[in-house]
Structure 1
Amino acid sequence: MTSTEQELPAVNSSAEIPEFATEEEFIEFWQTHSIGPGLIEAGRNDPEVWEVLNRIAPRQRPRQPRQPKATHVTTLRLDEDMEKRLKHVAELKKVPYQTLLKQFVGERLYEEEKRLGVI
C-alpha cells in the first residue's frame, strides 16, 4: 500500500456510499476513497454490499470470507429452464447463482426440520 492509498478517506458503511448515475462516477469515487473495516464487515453479512466491494479495484478488494465449515461438492441436475430462472433471480439479487441455490436449500431444510420437530 502506498502512502497515497493510506491517505484516502475510509468508507465504513454502505450509508457513506452515494448513488452513482454512471460507472465513471463509481470509479471516480473509489479512486478517492478506500474500504474501511466497517464496510468489509457489512459485506460479510450483506450480499449487496459484497457486490459493491467486488466491483472496487482489486487493490482495495477484500478477500471473500472463508466458510467456517468444510464444504462438499454435490452434483445436482437441473432442467435448462430451471437453471435459467435460478441464474436470472441470482442476477437480480446480485449474488452468484450457486450461492443463491445454497441459500434456498438451507432455508427449505430449516423449514422441513422445524416441521418434523428436529429443531
Structure 2
Amino acid sequence: MIKKNSAASVEEQYDERGRLIITDSSKIPENMTEEEVVDFWDTYAMSEELLNESYIEEDDLLPPRKSATKPINLRIENDLLNRLQKIAESKQIPYQTLLK
C-alpha cells in the first residue's frame, strides 16, 4: 500500500499490517527501552533492501577459528594420567582438552 504525504510530497509505503516501511537505517532510533522497541516495531517495518543490508553473515558472528592442532603421542605415568582425568572430570571437560 502506498500513500502520498502531501506536506513533504514523499510516498509512504505500508506493509500488510499497516506499518510504515523504513528505507533508511538512520530513521531507527537508538538507545530505546524494551517497551519503546516494541512500540516502534509495532508501528514501523524495515524495507527488503534495508533488511538485506543489515543481514549479518553467520561467519561474522562466530569467533575466529583457532589454528589447527596436530595430534601427538605423549607418554604419561598412570598416576599422573589418573590425576589429570579426575581434574578434568571435576571441570566437566575431556582430559585431552585439559592438557591443551
Q: Would you tell me which structure has more helix in proportion to its own residues?
A: 1
TM-score, with structure 2 as normaliser: 0.39
When you count strand as a share of all residues, which structure comes out higher? 2
| Structure whose CA Rg is larger | 2
Task: Work out which structure has the larger RCO, using CA pairs closer than 8 Å and 6 or more positions apart in sequence.
Answer: 1
What is the TM-score normalised by the length of structure 1?
A: 0.34
